[in-house]
Amino acid sequence: MYEAPIIKKAIDILLFIINEKRPVGVTEISKALSISKSTTYGILKALLEKDVINKDSSSKKYFIGKELLKITKTIHNDLDIIKIARPYLEKLSEIVDETVFLGIKDKDTIRIIDIVEVKKSYKISSHVGIKIPLPAGATSKILFSTMKDDDIVSFLSKNSLQKYTKNTITDLNAFLKEIRKVRKAGYAVDYEEYLKGVNAIATYIYQHNNPLAFVWIVGFSNSLTRNKIKETIRPLKEASRAISERLSFKPDSDE
């Protein structure tokens, strides 16, 4: 198997800069990692172009850049949400007997950051990191419900309503009417609108009254039926409310 040695060297250099916690020069990096000076310089130049690292104009030494700090902050925030939400998601999955997802908005998608799979063989499954396109299904509806109609129209003028199944809402006026219903109800449902044979119900998690993340329940349509979805509304909202309260008030000492 090809192991891409240049990528390994780039990672070694980046980790060295991070672990040193101070500006370091080309020669120091080259000697510490036993990488030729020319190769070290080339890798540093590439990292610099992507703003992963930065360079002091006077000392010519390198330190971590804004893109790396942004990535670090994103990971930290994700882990913080996951840590607080996880026990509530586990309890919710046990109550509704379906798979529960946790996600956040990531540009023009919703990225899954945690999953609690139901303990039965016939279930919906996915992977952390998967991105759900906007607009698509219950997750999109609940996200758009946190936006003003004008902002939704502006977004959809650049990202059209795609047809995923025969049940997908593709008419703008009908979609806006659906979003207004979602705002009033506080949750969104998806009856085989994104995936054939799959139903879902979603709501949002907030921090200090600001939408922060999304939690949704997904199941096969013959398991997560319309009647069962009605029964999941209360436990879903209760889980969302509990997580939101924890995120809005985090004590200094962990439980």
74: pLDDT confidence band, cut at 50, 70 and 90? low
Contact 214, 205 (CB under 8 A): yes
Residue ranges, CATH 3.30.450.40, the chain: 74-248
Contact 136, 162 (CB under 8 A): yes
119: pLDDT confidence band, cut at 50, 70 and 90? confident
Could you tell me which CATH class the domain 5-64 is placed in?
mainly alpha
19-71: pLDDT as tens digits? 888 899 999 999 999 999 999 999 999 999 988 999 988 899 999 888 887 77
The pair of three-digit structure tokens given for residue 42, joined into one six-digit string: 């080339």
Across the chain, mean pLDDT equals 90
Decide: residue 48, CB within 10 A, 0-12 exposed, 13-18 middle, 19+ buried. Answer: middle
Decide: residue 222, CB within 10 A, 0-12 exposed, 13-18 middle, 19+ buried. Answer: exposed
Domain covering 74-248 in this structure, CATH number = 3.30.450.40
The backbone torsions φ and ψ at residue 59, rounded to the nearest 5 degrees and listed phi first, read -85, -15
10-21: pLDDT as tens digits? 999 999 998 888
Residue ranges, CATH 1.10.10.10, the chain: 5-64
Decide: residue 28, CB within 10 A, 0-12 exposed, 13-18 middle, 19+ buried. Answer: middle
Q: Which residues are 132's β-sheet partners? A: 110
Q: How many angstroms separate the first and last alpha carbons of the chain?
A: 45
171-187: pLDDT as tens digits? 999 999 999 999 999 99
Contact 88, 235 (CB under 8 A): no
